[in-house]
Homo-oligomer: A and B are copies of this chain.
Amino acid sequence: MEKVCVLGAGSTKYGKLDDSITDITIQASIGAIESAGIDPKEIQAGYISNVFGVADKQVHLGPVVMSNLGIPEKPSLSIESACGSGSVSFREAFANVAAGFYDAVLVAGTEKVTHTGTEWTTTYFSYCSDFFYEGGAGASFPGLFASMARAYLNEFKATEEDLAAVAVKNHENGLLNPKAHLRKKISIDDVMKSAVVASPLKLYDCCPFSDGASAVILCSEKFAKEHSKNYVNVIGSGRGGSPATLQGRDHMTTIPSTKLAAQAAYKMAGITAKDIDFAEVHDCFTIAEVVDTEDLGFFEKGTGVQAVREGRTARNGDIPINPSGGLKAKGHPIGATGVGQVVEVFEQLTGKAGERTVKDAKIGLTHNFGATGASCAVHIFQGV
């Protein structure tokens, strides 16, 4: 098994973008190629993650991207796992490089949906649930995560203000991220007074619909060493699944796929949650970040909100969560999100995170799931 490294990373701004899905994917890819300092011709395959190419009238994105990069002969494919598409695509690319099928590949995630409007996005996003049981019954994702939030508030010593604190923290981080969608400082009071979307979740508990693209160059250790002294090692990779519907699970306050993916990633890396210096986790709603940090093993079940209250997950805390701003403030272009998390970890571990740098960070983790966590991938990275 080859050691696998992240050699370069690039990203568009997340938010409401005017360029086409093809254009933003190429912009992010060129950013990654320039960051890696390689010739595009050294790329041997392209892994694209995307969910709703139909929104911008372009599916089968791989060949379009590869052709625009001047390497049409190289194989490519698109991978979809709802909001977890980016990390699942990253995992496939990782597996292929680890197995020695490729020395260097492009992993690019992308989404362009904001031009379709909220009705289209809410409707189409609900196709990512088990639509027969959930979306078709009127349960869109804010409703499903609201059910999880209500269960959490009932089961543990937590308040709506505790959830709001997650949003406040992530907005603070996003303010330092020039590529974030929502760069706006907010207060607990702002969150509490924002419009109710699905009680107990309010507008500021929810991540936005975003456009955006992120890309990384993934390669063998040999290839990395030949090109750079400042790359990042992928030391753990894990995947897992959960029952597709919330109603099919034993508990509403934990996501089984996160635990399975994390266990596998920690095992591969030969470390435990205690060794992680910071993490980018899937905070599509504030409740998700709390549940994630417990399922990943950073905190005991039911104590995630306590950790937020104590500032432990802040950028200067003992386990900073979402220094990029997370899905909540950085934004959530669904096919790009998981790759964007890797971009953040790469920048953190190679000294390129500027003002939002997590001090003395050596090991970072990414956690990204699809739907209410039906699919999940966790990766662990270490600087050189």
Contacts and interface: CB of A to CB of B under 8 A. Distances in A.
A244 B76 CA distance: 11
A44 to B, nearest CB: 10
B67 A245 contact: yes
B245 A73 contact: no
Majority secondary structure of chain A interface residues (helix, strand, loop or mixed) = mixed
Interface of A: 1, 20, 22, 45, 51-54, 57-60, 62-64, 66-67, 71-82, 88, 92, 95-96, 98-101, 124, 127-132, 135-136, 239-245, 248, 256-257, 260-261, 370-371, 374-377
B239 A63 contact: no
Given A76-B375, A78-B79, A241-B66, A60 B127 contact: yes
Contact of A127 (B54, B95, B257): B54
Nearest to A260: B73
A259 B356 CA distance: 48
Closest 5 CB pairs of A and B: A99-B99, A63-B374, A75-B239, A60-B82, A63-B244
A113 to B, nearest CB: 12
A255 to B, nearest CB: 12
Contact of A57 (B62, B66, B136): B136
B99 A81 contact: no
Contacts of A374: 60, 62-64, 67, 72
A135 to B, nearest CB: 7
Nearest to A65: B244
Given A60-B129, A63-B375, A77-B92, 6 more contacts: A54-B54, A57-B135, A59-B128, A72-B244, A72-B256, A95-B96
Nearest to A92: B92
B95 A243 contact: no
Contacts of A239: 45, 75
A375 B266 CA distance: 35
Contacts of A136: 57
Contacts of A81: 60, 62, 76-78
A132 B98 CA distance: 35
A97 to B, nearest CB: 10
A52 B99 CA distance: 31
Contacts of A20: 132
Contacts of A66: 241, 244
8 contacts: A20-B132, A57-B135, A73-B242, A75-B261, A75-B376, A76-B241, A95-B96, A95-B101
